[in-house]
Amino acid sequence: AVWTERMLATLETGIEGGKWFRLIDKVWSTRNLARALQKVIARGGSAGIDNQSARAVKEHQEQTIQKLEQELRAGQYRPKAVKRVWIPKPGSQEKRPLGVPTVVSYCTSFNGLLGSAAF
């Protein structure tokens, strides 16, 4: 199990002089979403199934972050499907599949958030 005895006890008794935080509070914070989006934009990358490249999203990033935060908080966010592309295998004529998420989907994943959030 993920929960240790100490964690379960803390859930029941609370934290003296402190506040209990949830991970989702970190995920949908404007600051962390903005950092994750900046990280994705800086890396560039291909467009996902929505055909929105990082460069295109950069032009309207404030609106994107605001909309994404609202959808996450309301429980209405649904990530788009992953675009499948085929890339060559090194040293071979064969190809392998690669999934390319949308820029926004990547920002909400742990991959996008881990390097940007101050947990």
99 in Cβ contact with 84 (< 8 Å): yes
Confidence (pTM): 0.65
**Residue at 55 is within a domain:** yes
**Residue at 33 is within a domain:** yes
Task: Give the pLDDT mean for 64-79.
Answer: 89
**Residue at 5 is within a domain:** no
Task: Give the pLDDT mean for 66-93.
Answer: 91
82 in Cβ contact with 100 (< 8 Å): yes
The pLDDT tens digits of the residues spanning 7-36 come to 788 777 777 766 666 667 777 788 888 888
**Residue at 2 is within a domain:** no
**Residue at 12 is within a domain:** no
The yes-or-no verdict on residue 111 having pLDDT over 60 is: no
Q: What residues make up the domain containing 67?
A: 22-114
**Residue at 1 is within a domain:** no
The C-alpha torsion from 22 through 66 and 44 to 53, rounded to 10°, is 130
Domain count for the chain: 1
